[in-house]
Structure 1
Amino acid sequence: MSELPHGVVRLAAERGLTDLVPIGSGLEFQVFRAVTPQGTAVVLRTATGDRFQSNANDPDVDTRALLSWEHAVTAHLAGYGIPVATPRELTFGDPDVLVSDFVADDGRGAEPYLLGALLRRLHEVPPPAAGPVADEGLPTGRLVPVRIVRRWREVAALVPDLPAPPPVDRLAAAVVDRPHDRLLHLDVRAANLRCVDGRVRALLDWSNALIGDPALELGRLAEFALLPENGIDFDAVSSGYGAGVPDDPAAFWTYRLDAAVMLAVVFLSEAPDDVLGPLAVDRLRQVHDRWLREIRR
């Protein structure tokens, strides 16, 4: 218990929570499991470090705002029957903590067709009144081009022979006419799925969510699927979703470029990997070449 954050230990004691143990940690948040006086398992989510953080993909992170969004969006989705870790309490202090239901997992992952059907349901739910934090105050159709270029420059600082970033106006032109009105998770991978018998019992971690084009979700999934550890069969998920590759290749490959440059930043800077880093840069070049072909058609 002495190795646990003092503030989390104090909050657990105040709530009568027992058996407090760490169960996960990421770039911005750490998660603990505990048991309520009634014997129900819960999770406590709190910032890994300071409230305000910065990284190469997201230079201005307010973890309190992200916890508030997580609380709002999961409460909203629970009301529509979308499987989430239902929130119980959000408290601000030292530290800020979101307490949610613990959701069991059998370790066998999601059946991809069923995952696709769930994402289709998600995209049909009206977005919550609260706005996502990841949008940086911009409509998604404007955000995606801006962050592609910003993240591209982060990669270029580490890969000197990378081509110049795509022009923002060309990126924007590829997505401006798309529908940008659906709630998207945008971090669908094995680490964020709690499953039993192949069915998703909770979609976790809504930090990257946006209100945008469903094709953005599919484009990101297509790139995530290239990494085996993400546990995604893109064709099977698309079949369950009810649509294959979107019929707007320029937009779809713009969205894949958004995913590819994000992953390159992750494996070069945020979680440096001597193998995955160079592979991610090679993939970024490939996606960029395909994007160029599609916008020239």
Structure 2
Amino acid sequence: MNLSNTELKKLSQKVTHVLMNGMKWQIDEDIRLIGSGVINAVFLIRERERGLLAVRTPWRSEERMMDKNSSGIISLQKEAAIAKHCAKHQIPVPKIHQLYIGNDINFLVSDFISGDNQKISSYSIGKLISKIHKVPLNDLFIIDQKERTLSRIISERIAERAISLGKLINTDIIVPDSGILETILDTSNIKNRLLHLDVRRPNIIGENGIVQSIIDWDNAFIGNPIMELMRILETQELNAEAFLEGYNETELLKNTEDVIQLIYRLDTALMLSILFISFLNDKDKGEYYLKRVQLLISEINKCL
């Protein structure tokens, strides 16, 4: 994160000013940085009545623009809306206290959930994701999905990611036409569900091996749960057998055509190729996922 001490101080001062002067909260300790991502910085504060709180705020100037279409603002709104919806259905998420969209600073305040270093089993994570997938959608609206289907999002994203990867390696990555991919994905009759789509241990807070909370809904969409399963299996960060045992809906995979599973895997493999080649500079993993991309494209073409 390219956040200077000067910028860090400005952000913390702005957040503190709004909380103490605008909202009349009583902050007992100095605000401090506890984490950061591509878009947001996360601060820890202690409020006299509310206890320990996490404050998430966009840290890059272009993400803090007061434009309703700014990804920074959308990120906060998305996290708040999904967390509130999940809380109604007993999904372990941090309680949302305040979403603030202002003229000079934007931030989201939620409970700070502490955890320990004890590993959460893949089986337990599978049970958690199964529970999320059973959450009633009701009137849940994903702000950056709008009215688009997941099939359209993924098919168009595959084309975009193929172009981006091709530029990185200076070789054209030829993928099937997005319209064809969308049509294939639309043949699935599995009901849409809420998908987290970034199921990794850093996003699951636990204590004594028990899940306390799941966070970071930036990638979330409503759509076919096979996408979630394929992303988890393709990233290989969890034990696949144990995860699926905990998930306990293996009939979904059995009843889904291989080509649909391959398309969802391709979206993930393209993302990981770009991540490891361009951002993390991991040569071995970059090469591995580049080979996965080529293999998946070949397998999909055989099905067409």
The TM-score range, normalised by the shorter chain, is 0.7 to 0.9
How many angstroms does 1:201 deviate by?
1.1
Seen in structure 2, the aligned counterparts of structure 1 residues 276 and 13 have a Cα distance that, compared at 3 Å, is farther
Q: Determine the structure 2 residue equivalent to 1:288.
A: 297
1:201 aligned residue (179, 195, 212): 212
| Whole-angstrom CA distance in 1 between matches of 2:31 and 2:19 | 8
Q: Determine the structure 1 residue equivalent to 2:14.
A: 7
Q: Determine the structure 1 residue equivalent to 2:197.
A: 186
Q: Which sits farther off after the overlay, 33-42 or 64-73?
A: 33-42
Q: 1:136 touches 1:143 (CA, 8 Å); kept in 2? A: no
Q: Determine the structure 2 residue equivalent to 1:173.
A: 183
Q: 1:31 touches 1:46 (CA, 8 Å); kept in 2? A: yes
Q: Deviations over 1:240-263 (max 9, x none)?
A: 101347122111111111111111
How many angstroms does 1:270 deviate by?
4.0
Q: Determine the structure 2 residue equivalent to 1:140.
A: 150
Q: Determine the structure 2 residue equivalent to 1:56.
A: none
Give the counterpart letter for 1:65 in structure 2. I
Q: Determine the structure 2 residue equivalent to 1:257.
A: 266
Give the counterpart letter for 2:17 in structure 1. R
Residue 126 in structure 1 maps to residue 136 in structure 2: yes
**CA RMSD across the alignment:** 2.2
Q: 2:195 touches 2:220 (CA, 8 Å); kept in 1? A: yes
Q: 1:261 touches 1:284 (CA, 8 Å); kept in 2? A: yes
Query: Unpaired segments of 5 or more residues in structure 2?
Result: none
TM-score (norm 1): 0.87
How many angstroms does 1:49 deviate by?
0.9
Q: 2:77 touches 2:143 (CA, 8 Å); kept in 1? A: no
| Whole-angstrom CA distance in 2 between matches of 1:19 and 1:154 | 42
Identity over the aligned pairs, expressed in percent?
27
Once the two structures are superposed, the pairs formed by residues 29-40 of structure 1 within 5 Å of their partners are: 29-38=40-49, 40=51
How many angstroms does 1:13 deviate by?
4.1
| Whole-angstrom CA distance in 2 between matches of 1:181 and 1:163 | 30
Q: 1:20 touches 1:33 (CA, 8 Å); kept in 2? A: yes
How many angstroms does 1:265 deviate by?
2.1
How many angstroms does 1:272 deviate by?
3.9
Q: Determine the structure 2 residue equivalent to 1:103.
A: 113
| Whole-angstrom CA distance in 1 between matches of 2:227 and 2:194 | 11
Give the counterpart letter for 1:75 in structure 2. K
Q: 2:175 touches 2:297 (CA, 8 Å); kept in 1? A: no
Q: Deviations over 1:110-137 (max 9, x none)?
A: 2211211111111111126342244265
| Whole-angstrom CA distance in 1 between matches of 2:136 and 2:192 | 9
Seen in structure 2, the aligned counterparts of structure 1 residues 49 and 21 have a Cα distance that, compared at 3 Å, is same
Q: Determine the structure 2 residue equivalent to 1:47.
A: 58
How many angstroms does 1:275 deviate by?
4.0
| Whole-angstrom CA distance in 1 between matches of 2:174 and 2:214 | 36
| Whole-angstrom CA distance in 2 between matches of 1:187 and 1:128 | 22
Once the two structures are superposed, the pairs formed by residues 85-100 of structure 1 within 5 Å of their partners are: 85-93=94-102, 94-100=104-110
Give the counterpart letter for 1:254 in structure 2. I
TM-score (norm 2): 0.85
1:84 aligned residue (71, 81, 93): 93
Task: Report the structure number with the largest CA radius of gyration.
Answer: 2
Q: Determine the structure 2 residue equivalent to 1:115.
A: 125
Higher helix fraction: Structure 1 or Structure 2?
2
Q: 1:69 touches 1:130 (CA, 8 Å); kept in 2? A: no
How many angstroms does 1:50 deviate by?
2.9
